[in-house]
Amino acid sequence: MAMPESRALPHGEVAIGSGGDVARVIALANQKGGVAKTTTTVNLAAALQEMGERVLVVDLDPQGNLTMSQGLNPDTIERSMFDVLVRSLPIEDIIEKVELEVAVSSIDLAGAELALASMIGRERALEKALHPVRDAYDFILIDTPPSLGLLTINALTASDGIIVPVQCEYLSLRGLAQLQNTLAMIRDNLNPDVEILGILPTMYDSRTLHCREAVEMLIDNFGDTVFRTRIRKTVRLAEAPVAGSSVLAYEPSGSAATAYRSLAKEVLDDAQAREHA
């Protein structure tokens, strides 16, 4: 994988643009792995950025797949989200500017849950870390690990809303109930305003009856909460991270890039509707 040139933003330097509103913080969450959380975080961010929005992506997964998908090597990163959450390092100090602005992960993050366990306010470590930069961005997207542990709870506590990528198969749909239970606990104890912004069908293949029935089941149970956009299976979504880029940069006119632009428009329309509600 080619490693693009990157730089950490000096402390206090963030991508200040016009406008004074604080960022809308969105976690991409599903305790099931392999549902395109990281793919969606990267490409939704790229699509929003293409539309002129100021976007920060936060890699909260110890696997560091988002960090790697932007051409960075988690194994050589000296300071990461671990230092932000556990050692109170300012998040500006670990943001790398590549195609996107990325608050990077490293393998050290695997020890964050254990390190946070004995800390007072452990569920709010990420919320506290994001506070100083929320007015520098329009959107902050958080890629979460495939579990409902303390890192994911931090993400849900810090967020205004959640996007749930769901693979179009029956077993993936069953995991939504567990996520909803966790979300109810978060609302009761930590963040009463967080809600599911939308459920995103991924790895969609309209040729298979099972896939179509899974989407129908989602709509029957969740109605308008299901995004209109469908993320279809395509090899381009696997090739783009190997090249260290989003699919919008890798194949700008392809069907995958078009789908994520459609999703970004849905997210923007939702944000504007809530703002004027």
Residue-wise pLDDT tens digits, 123-182: 999 999 999 999 999 999 999 999 989 999 999 999 999 999 999 887 777 778 888 989
- CB half-sphere exposure, 119, CA atoms < 13 A: 17
In a domain, 114, yes or no: yes
In a domain, 2, yes or no: no
Q: Are strands 195-202 and 161-167 parallel, antiparallel or unpaired?
A: parallel
In a domain, 1, yes or no: no
| Closest by CA position to 169, among listed 141, 201, 198, 145 | 201
In a domain, 29, yes or no: yes
pTM, to two decimals: 0.90
pLDDT in tens, 213-246: 989 999 998 999 999 999 999 999 999 999 999 9
In a domain, 251, yes or no: yes
In a domain, 142, yes or no: yes
| Number of domains, the chain | 1
In a domain, 94, yes or no: yes
CATH number at residue 134: 3.40.50.300
Q: Per-residue confidence at 14, pLDDT binned at 50, 70, 90? A: very low
Q: Partners of 24 in the beta sheet?
A: 139
Pinpoint the alpha helices (H) of the chain.
37-50, 65-69, 81-87, 112-116, 125-130, 150-158, 170-189, 209-222, 236-242, 247-250, 255-275
Q: Partners of 141 in the beta sheet?
A: 26, 57
What is the span of the domain harbouring residue 255?
7-275
| Closest by CA position to 266, among listed 232, 226, 212, 235 | 226
